[in-house]
């Protein structure tokens, strides 16, 4: 292997690295009604992992960095699974003994919706991003689901002249917003925090504060974006039979990054991302990842 100083990655995915237990149930349990498991499986999880694995499947060279994981059974299972994706570099994934690897149980109902229970995320140490590390990548992918380490990573990338693609930065005053070149938000997340807001005006505000390209995913209605010229672009969804909406947002974001790395115009980036997310929703699992040939076939 070449020395670290010569390595160059397409994307540095900074954020959550965890193991997911996906559990299929006919309905969610309640205090008065138990539920029964239809089937279950384990897979790598976390926003950084899910975005990185999708990009690697499309030919990208990706490095993961974020929270520390343990040397427990969950950690071993996670690393073993990630080693099956040669485009995902694990050299910055830190492991220490006597630490519980972050873990999620994800209940998925037949309508494709999910409910998540997280374990040990807040107490898990984070690996800080450094100038030396971020300069080995062309782009930083990051989200807001952490503490100050995510904000510091985004602003360090900006100061190092590395573009930042962020997820779910929906607050105009958020410190990550002015450090981002592209922001990908979901309509559901926006409306959860701002129920009565006009989505286009909200996007216009985020764009005015940051001058970033702002994209909002609309589920079955596709997505809408506002680019550097301040004009809105609408991109229609691809109709599919929905089996599981889990991780569609991460696959969409990976699609945007894939197009950004190729200097595509915004409408082409969004169309590719819509197709990739639709294909994910049409299948039960993320693994194996949606293939580039399948996405290209859908948009052709």
pLDDT in tens, 24-41: 999 999 999 999 999 999
What whole-number distance in Å separates Cα of residue 274 and Cα of residue 186?
A: 13
Residue 146 confidence (pLDDT) above 90: no
What whole-number distance in Å separates Cα of residue 169 and Cα of residue 184?
A: 8
Q: Are 255 and 279 in contact (CB under 8 A)?
A: no
Q: Please give the pLDDT value at position 7.
A: 58
Q: Please give the pLDDT value at position 5.
A: 56
- Residue 246 or 13, more confident: 13
Supply the DSSP string of 16-76, one letter for each residue.
--EEEEEEE-SS--BTTB----SEEEEEEESHHHHHHHHHHHTT--EEEEEB-EESSHHHH
Q: Please give the pLDDT value at position 153.
A: 97
Residue 284 confidence (pLDDT) above 80: no
Mean pLDDT over 64-92 rounds to 95
Q: How confident is the model at residue 1 (pLDDT cuts 50, 70, 90)?
A: very low
> Cα 118 to chain center, whole Å?
17
> Cα 51 to chain center, whole Å?
4
Residue 258 confidence (pLDDT) above 70: yes
- Residue 5 or 277, more confident: 277
pLDDT tens readout for residues 102-114 = 999 999 898 878 8
22: which strand partners? 41, 106
Residue 4 confidence (pLDDT) above 70: no
Q: How confident is the model at residue 178 (pLDDT cuts 50, 70, 90)?
A: very high
Q: Please give the pLDDT value at position 247.
A: 86
Residue 6 confidence (pLDDT) above 60: no
Q: How confident is the model at residue 2 (pLDDT cuts 50, 70, 90)?
A: very low
Q: What is the β-pairing status of strands 88-89 and 39-45?
A: unpaired
Mean pLDDT over 148-165 rounds to 96
Provide the percentage of residues in the chain whose pLDDT is more than 70. 97
Pick from 12, 2, 37: which is nearest to 22 by CA?
37
For the chain, list the domains and their CATH numbers: 4-299 (3.40.1190.20)
> Cα 255 to chain center, whole Å?
10
Mean pLDDT over 194-206 rounds to 95
Q: Please give the pLDDT value at position 228.
A: 85
Residue 267 confidence (pLDDT) above 80: yes
Residue 137 confidence (pLDDT) above 60: yes
Q: Please give the pLDDT value at position 127.
A: 95
């Amino acid at each position: 292997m070449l020395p670290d100083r010569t390595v160059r990655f397409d994307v540095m995915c900074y954020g959550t690295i965890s193991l997911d237990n996906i559990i299929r149930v006919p309905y969610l349990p309640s205090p008065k009604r138990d539920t029964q498991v239809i089937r279950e499986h384990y897979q790598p999880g976390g926003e950084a992992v899910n975005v990185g694995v999708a990009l690697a499947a499309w030919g990208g060279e990706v490095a993961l960095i974020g929270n520390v994981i343990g040397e427990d059974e969950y950690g071993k299972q996670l690393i073993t699974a990630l080693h099956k994706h040669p485009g995902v570099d694990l050299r910055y994934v830190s492991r220490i003994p006597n630490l519980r690897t972050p873990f999620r149980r994800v209940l998925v109902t037949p309508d494709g919706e999910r409910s998540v229970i997280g374990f040990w995320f807040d107490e898990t140490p984070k690996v800080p991003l450094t100038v030396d590390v971020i300069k080995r990548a062309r782009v930083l992918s990051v989200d807001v689901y952490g503490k100050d380490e995510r904000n510091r990573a985004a602003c360090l990338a900006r100061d190092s002249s590395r573009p930042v693609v962020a997820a779910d930065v929906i607050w105009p005053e958020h410190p990550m917003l002015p450090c981002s070149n592209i922001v990908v938000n979901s309509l559901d997340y926006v409306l959860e925090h701002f129920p009565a807001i006009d989505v286009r005006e909200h996007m216009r505000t985020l764009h005015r504060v940051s001058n970033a390209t702002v994209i909002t995913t609309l589920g079955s209605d596709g997505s809408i974006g506002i680019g550097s010229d301040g004009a809105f672009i609408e991109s229609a969804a691809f109709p599919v039979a929905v089996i599981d909406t889990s991780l569609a947002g991460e696959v969409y974001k990976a699609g945007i990054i894939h197009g950004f790395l190729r200097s595509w115009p915004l409408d082409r980036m969004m169309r590719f991302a819509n197709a990739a997310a639709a294909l994910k929703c049409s299948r039960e699992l993320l693994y194996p990842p949606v293939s580039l040939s399948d996405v290209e076939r859908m948009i052709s």
